[in-house]
Amino acid sequence: MPSLDFEVEKADFRTFYEQNLPLLQDATASFIALLTALVTHSRNIEVAKVDGRVKEKEECIRKFSRKYRPELEASSTPYEIKPHISDLIGLRIVCLYEDELEKVALVIREHFDVIEVTDKVAAVESTEGSFGYKGLHMDLALNATRRDLPEYAAYAPFRFELQVRTIIQDSWSVLDHKIKYKKSIPNQLKRRINVLSALFELADREFLQIRDSTEAELRRAPDETANEQAEVGPQQPAIESGAGADLNAFTFLKIASHFFRNFDFEPHKVDGFVHAINEWSPGTTRSKFNFFMRENIARVKRYKQFFEKRSATDRFNPYTVMRHCLYLGDKEVFSRALTNVARESFEAWLREDV
């Protein structure tokens, strides 16, 4: 029964907490798995992590005492602690980019009952030094469909709080909580904290703009494969000039994706491979790379078939094919594209393939 006796209510809450802790922990694990499945199946959302925790019982009591107890006791309103702790189960989704926060929210609204939403971005946009608290805070419960499923029935009574932040907002929040004094401090120190929070906000914005600029550069990259007359003569690629003639990650992807249409080129591997090409042959142009691919890929694919028939385990992936195409295009310049063993094997096959 609700009362105005804080000691009684503390004891009741501690009893509830200890009796239900295993179930709360199971519910947390289940909700994390459900959220992970929902957001990872949304292809336009990049998530860094999904995690959660059961709030420690004494922390819950302190929060109630600080936020709710004074007003309830002043108005002589009997209370219990549990209904006021909306984040007894707290979950967190950390995205890469700020424009993904609302995308996550849309997914969540489709699968949960939304009790309350606090848009911390809008709330603190014009407030100094509050960057760490940006993001979306959503009070949620399982919707009717999931409450009826056997695997969720035991967790149906539990509400939970979901925080949705970018990875940079989340990092600042962790650091922000380590700053011991932020309000009653000299202005000089307060200003330094505000400058630091602004740097994190700038980093979040720049990270988003770099993503968008990268995608725009990839769309603008010239498509060498659309111009099959790139070479001057039958044996030489066209001579190019200008800053746009170089082979970079964007122009490489346009060409490589043409020759390997169903292959998923991971960005970090593309970056490393293009860097290696430019180390082997500084100033390699996109036209030269395209020429070597077009002229040599048929022969290299024949070697690939020969090689894989002889080997029970080794396979040629697209990068291996491209290495052989470059080597065949200029054996002296691109000798480092193949290991000694791979080079000897390829050369032995080439002597037979006349």
DSSP string, 207-261: HHHHHHHHHHHHHHS--GGG-TT-EEETTEEPP--SGGGB--HHHHHHHHHHHST
Q: Do 108 and 162 form a contact (C-beta atoms < 8 A)?
A: yes
Predicted pLDDT at 233: 45
Is 169 found in the same domain as 51?
Answer: yes
Q: Answer yes or no: is 18 within a domain.
A: yes
Which H/E stretch holds residue 75? none
Is 287 found in the same domain as 189?
Answer: no
Is 327 found in the same domain as 268?
Answer: yes
Q: Answer yes or no: is 36 within a domain.
A: yes
Q: Answer yes or no: is 188 within a domain.
A: yes
- Which residue, 180, 207, 234, sits at the end of a domain? 207
Is 182 found in the same domain as 100?
Answer: yes
State whether residue 212 is helix, strand or coil. Answer: helix
Burial label for 332, CB within 10 Å (0-12, 13-18, 19+), is exposed
**Cα-based distances in Å from 236 to 256, 275, 291:** 20, 23, 8
Tokens coding 285: 């142009």
- CA atoms of 299 and 149, how far apart (whole Å): 58
Predicted pLDDT at 189: 87
- CA atoms of 232 and 287, how far apart (whole Å): 11
Report the Cα–Cα distance between both ends of the chain, in Å, rounded.
Answer: 93
CATH number at residue 33: 3.30.460.10
- Which residue, 174, 207, 240, sits at the end of a domain? 207
Is 134 found in the same domain as 269?
Answer: no
Q: Answer yes or no: is 1 within a domain.
A: no
89 - beta bridge partners? 54
- Which residue, 177, 207, 237, sits at the end of a domain? 207
Q: Answer yes or no: is 218 within a domain.
A: no
Is 231 found in the same domain as 100?
Answer: no
Q: Answer yes or no: is 216 within a domain.
A: no
**Cα-based distances in Å from 183 to 128, 196, 253:** 11, 15, 51
Output the DSSP codes for 137-169: EEEEEE-HHHHTSTTTGGGTT--EEEEEEEHHH
Residue 104, CA atoms < 13 Å, CB-side half-sphere: 31
Q: Answer yes or no: is 326 within a domain.
A: yes
Q: Do 100 and 46 form a contact (C-beta atoms < 8 A)?
A: yes
Is 254 found in the same domain as 187?
Answer: no
Is 233 found in the same domain as 123?
Answer: no
- CA atoms of 354 and 352, how far apart (whole Å): 6
Is 197 found in the same domain as 250?
Answer: no
- CA atoms of 286 and 272, how far apart (whole Å): 16
Is 191 found in the same domain as 306?
Answer: no
Is 170 found in the same domain as 266?
Answer: no
Predicted pLDDT at 135: 79
Is 244 found in the same domain as 109?
Answer: no
Task: Count how many domains the chain has.
Answer: 2
Residue 235 belongs to what domain range? 224-352
Q: How confident is the prediction along the chain (354 residues), in pLDDT tens digits per residue?
A: 899 999 999 999 999 999 999 999 999 999 999 999 999 887 788 899 999 999 999 999 999 999 999 999 999 999 999 999 989 999 999 999 999 999 999 999 999 999 999 876 554 554 554 444 567 899 999 999 999 999 999 999 999 999 999 999 999 888 888 887 777 788 888 888 888 888 998 999 999 999 899 888 888 877 766 655 444 444 555 444 444 488 999 999 999 999 999 999 998 899 999 999 999 999 899 999 999 999 999 999 999 999 999 887 888 999 999 999 999 999 999 999 999 999 999 999 999 987
Backbone angles phi and psi of 299, in degrees to 5: -70, -40
